[in-house]
């Protein structure tokens, strides 16, 4: 395996009965990059991501994540990645502090480690005053920032973010991306899906899935040039409109 790649995917396929959700996709994700994973609803993004996170076994093909094989070492994958979903990422009926402790505890971190990380996270998020408040009472933008912090508290090499900014206001959305940049600066690889095409511009490279296949993969600048498009929004529309799969 190439040491500069944290994810290597080769002809990865997932079938449900006679339906091929993910159709022999191949790509690599480099260490430390912000990798955008784009596609229309039903293009196979979630299925592909679930396989990479060790949550679903592929039908065929090969994939390694953070040095581990998706078939045989899915438990190690789960332990070595961070994951944040849009819908369910924090316990609403636990406090801010309890959520951090709970997640770090699940990853088997020591009390001393958890305490240090909690203090640091509260300070960075400027949530010291809200430490003992229920997560339910926080605005969505703050919840999502906290969820991201929680997802990387155990210091994974790579973090998967599934539509982290859906419904978040434009200022909070930018603050969230600021955190992504910082994480990438600290060497964490970020694998992110989004429906906001302006955010696709912030990625180092973006992959666009159509009908279960990889339709394009390059830097945003190169993609725009290849498709003669003014923005990533136009690139996306050009490619996604080619979809034949009727969901």
Partner 1 sequence: MKPIVVQDIAKRYGKKKETVEALKGISFEVEQGAIFGLIGSDGAGKTSLFRILTTLLLPDGGNAWVDGLDTVKDFKAIRKRIGYMPGRFSLYPDLSVEENLAFFATIFNTTIRQNYSLVKGIYEQIAPFKNRRAGKLSGGMKQKLALCCALIHRPSVLFLDEPTTGVDAVSRREFWEMLKDLKNEGISILASTPYMDEASLCDRVALIQEGKILSTDTPAGVISAFGKPLLAVKSPRMLHLLNMLRSFDMVADVYPFGEYHHVVMKREGEEKMLEAGLKEIEKDITIMPVVPHIEDCFMALMKN
Using rule CB under 8 A, residue 170 touches partner 1: yes
Provide the residue count of the chain: 247
From the list 9-17, 90-98, 108-116, 135-143, the region that binds partner 1 by CB under 8 A is: 135-143
From the list 54-62, 68-76, 134-142, 147-155, the region that binds partner 1 by CB under 8 A is: 134-142
Using rule CB under 8 A, residue 174 touches partner 1: yes
From the list 59-67, 103-111, 120-128, 239-247, the region that binds partner 1 by CB under 8 A is: 239-247
Strands 189-193 and 34-39: parallel
Tell me the C-alpha distance between 26 and 122, whole Å: 39
Beta-carbon-side half-sphere exposure of residue 189 (alpha carbons within 13 Å): 20
Helix axes 140-152, 170-185, angle to 10 degrees: 10
Using rule CB under 8 A, residue 140 touches partner 1: yes
Selected binder of partner 1 within 172, 179, 214, 217 (CB under 8 A): 172
Selected binder of partner 1 within 201, 213, 218, 229 (CB under 8 A): 201
From the list 11-19, 66-74, 99-107, 171-179, the region that binds partner 1 by CB under 8 A is: 171-179
In the window 212-231, what residues touch partner 1 (CB under 8 A)? Answer: 220-221, 231
List residues binding partner 1 (CB under 8 A): 39-42, 86, 139-141, 163, 166-172, 174, 177, 181, 195-198, 201-202, 220-221, 231-233, 236-237, 240-241, 243, 246-247
């Amino acid at each position: 395996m190439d040491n500069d790649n944290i994810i290597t995917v080769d002809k990865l396929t997932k079938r449900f009965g006679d339906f091929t959700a993910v159709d022999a996709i191949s790509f690599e994700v480099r260490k430390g990059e912000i990798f955008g994973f784009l596609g229309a609803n039903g293009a196979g993004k979630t299925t592909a991501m679930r396989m990479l996170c060790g949550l679903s076994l592929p039908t065929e093909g090969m994939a390694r994540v953070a040095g581990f094989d998706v078939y045989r070492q899915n438990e190690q994958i789960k332990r070595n990645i961070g994951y944040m979903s849009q819908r369910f990422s924090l316990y609403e009926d636990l406090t801010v502090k309890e959520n951090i402790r709970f997640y770090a505890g699940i990853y088997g971190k020591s009390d001393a480690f958890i305490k240090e990380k909690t203090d640091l996270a509260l300070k960075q998020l400027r949530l010291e005053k809200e430490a003992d408040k229920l997560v339910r009472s926080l605005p969505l933008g703050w919840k999502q920032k906290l969820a991201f912090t929680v997802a990387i508290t155990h210091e994974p090499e790579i973090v998967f973010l599934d539509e982290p900014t859906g419904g978040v206001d434009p200022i909070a959305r930018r603050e969230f991306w600021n955190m992504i940049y910082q994480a990438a600066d600290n060497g964490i690889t970020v694998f992110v899906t989004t429906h906001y095409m302006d955010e696709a511009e912030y990625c180092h490279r973006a992959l666009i899935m159509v009908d279960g296949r990889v339709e394009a993969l390059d830097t945003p600048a190169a993609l725009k040039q290849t498709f003669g498009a003014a923005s990533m929004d136009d690139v996306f529309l050009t490619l996604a409109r080619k979809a034949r799969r009727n969901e």
